[in-house]
Amino acid sequence: MPRPPETDEGWYVLHDLRTVDWDAWREAPERERDRAIAEGREYLEDAVAVADADGGDSAVFAVLGHEADLMVVHLRPTLDDLDYLERQFAQTALAGYTERTASYVSVTEASGYTGAEDYFDPDAEADPGIRNYIESRLYPEIPDSEFVSFYPMDKRREPEQNWYDLSFEERAEYMDAHGDIGRSYAGKVSQIISGSVGLDDFEWGITLFADDPTDVKDLLYEMRFDPSSSRFAEFGPFYSGRQFLPADLEPFLAGERVPTTDPSAEDGDAGRSALDEALADLEVEPPADGHAVLVTSEADAEAVQEEVDGLRGNFEHYDTHRGTEVHPTDDGAAVVSVWETSSAADTASGFLAEIAGAVETQVGPVGDAVADGEEESDAASDAAAGDADAQGDGGTAASTDPGIRADLEEQGIYAGTPHGEDVFALVCYSEADVDELAAEVEDLADGFDRYDTHRGTEVYEATDEGRDDAGRDAQPAVVSLWDTEDAAGTASDYLSDLPGIVREAGEGEGFGTMGMFYTVKPEHREDFTEQFDVVGDLLGDMDGHRETTLYANREDPNDMFIASQWASKDDAMEFFRSDAFADTVEWGRDVLADRPRHVFLA
């Protein structure tokens, strides 16, 4: 039998490749995305810092192509260490938005071919240079190179091309020539070679690193003509990626360019983000911490200043706003807006990105927020929500995006699309003084009016008939209508910052529905409110009914909506399918200026 080479093993290696469920990620409430980012980033930062073991290394890569989105490479002293890392990731919220598409388990390996025999001979004294070289292969550091290429491989065992039938000397000669090619790329390409016989489907895993991906291509192309490859090598799938730091997990998931920071940056630059650098290039001193929006515009700086002055008036209503400034540039202007939380900065960016001449928008943490990895959420509660439907007078349902609806509901904002309308409706309730609330809403609506997607934002008060079952005055409501769901989502953060915003009075785990667009003919307003009393008596006898309130617009008393609270969706649907409701709708045709539409919200 041919003599096998001696081998030595070092650290165990796990290549963990995952796709991201982008649909689920986009639909997830912001609070859940924030949690997933925070937990994912903490996990990756701890792994890169090797906080879990006595030795090893880790790195994260954005994978190109359809096979995966992320690849995390771990090197650790034991398989137990790798098992722990796998299970720790499974505990993060980020794991729920990923699916493993491939993985590879191996162990770093050095073999006793040419030049290494003395290392494996217990009676010989190995050359210190050879010993250092082998130990660097057994206990490697993952380089800071941007590009990575990973692939598994086998040696052929065909009848006429069986690597394992060759003598030790023949194999050593092939490997020496093969190594000469690799050594010619020293300084351009580095490698981690790991053995996987008995550990995974192939015999070796090859991980190559370079700053220029064409160097990897040139190396592998040249090696294809070497007999050790052309005659004896079989290759598995190739995975190509680009390294980024854990701090860039949020921009990666947001579809932004990564790395935003240089993985090879000196320690003194750690914690400085690309946004910090961009601000420095503008000679703007980055704030000590926080979350910033940087918008570059090709428009005249004075025109930009005028637009920003209009927005700043709205921004300054919110405690999370640190400041917004315009800086003239050679090409136009740059707007810098700083906020305490990432969600507030994201919301502001939606408005700032629409200023005249805007060509680029950057959003992210700056200063200490980069180093500390702050992730904040504006969510106010943990209430769960079910499916949402919109029902019109014809009884046809139209779906409301459950992810956005749930996210808004956590902030005390109820959202839906009225049947038969190309608008998205938001409503929130406030315990603030109604005059104070109206003044704030007027300022906010003036800012919203700058955007073509805004239909209107108004304050509604309960009518004299609109008291709850305990006789208490219902809280005033704010209703905001938008042409698009994205615009409504952006506006929702501003609504949640209005004074005294609370969840709907009396709400528990039940099902709420708000009736929208009850525009009453002026001469029939009294008839409508009297009919509401009749319907209210009927509702009081319905199983599952909790309370129903009639609201009127402060500026237009003929513009109304009804907020109704039920124990379950089935209870509400039983009423809306009833003959009594059908009779009420039929009666309303004579007194309403427009047909009634309803938005059902879980």
Q: What pLDDT sits at residue 591?
A: 75
What is the pLDDT, as a whole number, of residue 480? 87
Query: 389 pLDDT band (50/70/90 cuts)?
Result: very low
CATH of 389-601, one of 1.10.1200.10, 3.30.70.100, 3.40.50.300, 3.90.1140.10: 3.30.70.100
The proportion of the chain whose per-residue pLDDT surpasses 70, expressed as a percent, equals 75
| The one-letter amino acid at 441 | V
Q: The tokens 């190179």 sit on which residue?
A: 145
Neighbour tally for 167: CB within 10 Å: 10
Which segment of 346-350, 399-403, 540-544 scores lowest on mean pLDDT? 399-403
**pLDDT higher for 553 or 132?**
553
Determine if the pTM surpasses 0.85: no
Express the helix, strand and coil content of the chain in percent, nearest 5 each.
Answer: 35, 30, 35
Q: What is the mean pLDDT of the chain?
A: 79
pLDDT digits (tens, 9 = 90+) for 140-151: 999 989 999 999
Residue 588 near residue 582, CB atoms below 8 Å:
no
How many CB atoms are closer than 10 A to CB 103? 14
- Active-site residues, by number, are 151
SS3 105: strand
pLDDT digits (tens, 9 = 90+) for 515-529: 555 788 888 888 888
Going by pLDDT thresholds of 50, 70 and 90, the confidence category of residue 397 is very low
- pLDDT digits 0-9 by tens, 179-223: 888 878 877 899 999 999 999 999 999 999 999 999 999 999 999
Fill in the amino acid letter for 555. E
Contact residues for 61 (Cβ-Cβ < 8 A; gap 6+)? 70, 71, 72, 73, 148, 241, 242, 243, 244
| Residue 500 backbone zone (phi > 0: left; psi -120 to 50: alpha; other: beta) | left
* Residue 396 · residue 419 · CB < 8 Å: yes
Q: Going by C-beta distance under 8 Å and a sequence separation of 6 or more, which residues neighbour residue 368?
A: 271, 288, 289
Q: For 517, list phi and psi in degrees, rounded to 5.
A: 60, 45
Q: Where are the domains of the chain?
A: 7-244, 270-372, 389-601
Q: Which residue has the higher pLDDT, 5 or 579?
A: 5
Token representation of residue 204 = 């070796």
CA 433, 347, 420 angle in degrees (round to 5)? Answer: 80
Cβ atoms within 10 Å, residue 127? 13
Q: SS3 of 52, please?
A: coil
Q: For domain 270-372, give its CATH number from 2.60.40.1180, 3.40.605.10, 3.10.270.10, 3.30.70.260.
A: 3.30.70.260
Fold of domain 7-244: Alpha-Beta Plaits (3.30.70)
- Position 233, amino acid: A
Specify the range with the lowest mean pLDDT, choosing from 267-276, 536-545, 579-588: 267-276
